[in-house]
A and B are shown apart, each in its own frame.
Chain A
Amino acid sequence: GQQVMQIPQCQHVQEGEDFTTYCNSSTTLSNIQWYKQRPGGHPVFLIQLVKSGEVKKQKRLTFQFGEAKKNSSLHITATQTTDVGTYFCAGLGNSGGGNYKLTFGKGTLLTVNP
């Protein structure tokens, strides 16, 4: 079945440093979604990428979807303490029979030292 791998598992940075998390799918995706879960909270939708090679920005966050639609990345420029949390990617893939399934990566836990 479809697998979505995400690295790194966790990363600790100093405030102001950049951060990147990477997501790789075993199969070609229809779209990829990114979510953020604050400690003790629930996942919150950030963005969805659909097109091959698509790049989207949200303030200091840059999201990329690979040309082959099998990988994606989230880059945060100049991290702040408010960026702390676990970032999940979720890939939408064809699970057969005309059905689609969203598979979450294991997430990357970001901690920021002020």
Chain B
Amino acid sequence: GAVVSQHPSWVICKSGTSVKIECRSLDFQATTMFWYRQFPKQSLMLMATSNEGSKATYEQGVEKDKFLINHASLTLSTLTVTSAHPEDSSFYICSASLAGVGEQYFGPGTRLTVT
């Protein structure tokens, strides 16, 4: 089946620093990748839709200058949390779709803790 990897699995950083999270589709090409944020015991909050070769589409309320998304190839999308603050601490999950908005294959997630 379709496999999506995410790196790193967890990261602890100091307030004010930037953190980059990578999302890779390992055995298929994904024209569209999605970035979610999930708080403990809560649902998935879509942050942005990432399309290869074009600018990401951000959901309302998500700061595009703070959460930089790059989808440079059909197998890699990156999310950079710039000038991280403790309130950015969360579980970030990416997903990729084989066909636009069809079934999504999720990465294992990245646990970000900002101290």
Contact = CB atoms under 8 A, between A and B. Distances in A.
B43 A44 contact: no
B42 interface: yes
Contact of B104 (A45, A101, A105): A45
Interface residues of A, number: 20
Contacts of B106: 35, 42-45
A42 B103 contact: no
Contact of B103 (A48, A88, A103, A104): A48
Contacts of A103: 46
In this complex, the member of B100, B103, B106, B108 whose beta carbon has the largest number of chain A beta carbons within 10 angstroms is B103
Contact of B43 (A33, A92, A106): A106
A102 interface: yes
Nearest to B109: A42
A100 B101 contact: yes
Given A104-B44, A106-B43, A107-B43, A92 B107 contact: no
Interface size class of B (residues with CB under 8 A): 10 to 19
Contact of A42 (B41, B42, B46, B93): B93
A48 B46 contact: no
B49 to A, nearest CB: 8
B58 interface: no
Interface in B83-115: 93, 95, 100-109
Contact of A48 (B42, B93, B102, B105): B102
Contacts of A100: 100-101
Contacts of B105: 45
Interface string A66-90: 0000000000000000000000101
A103 B45 CA distance: 9
Given A42-B108, A43-B104, 17 more contacts: A41-B108, A42-B93, A42-B106, A42-B107, A43-B44, A43-B93, A43-B95, A43-B106, A45-B104, A48-B103, A88-B43, A101-B46, A102-B46, A102-B104, A104-B43, A104-B46, A105-B43
11 contacts: A42-B108, A43-B104, A43-B106, A45-B103, A88-B44, A101-B101, A102-B101, A102-B104, A104-B43, A104-B44, A105-B43
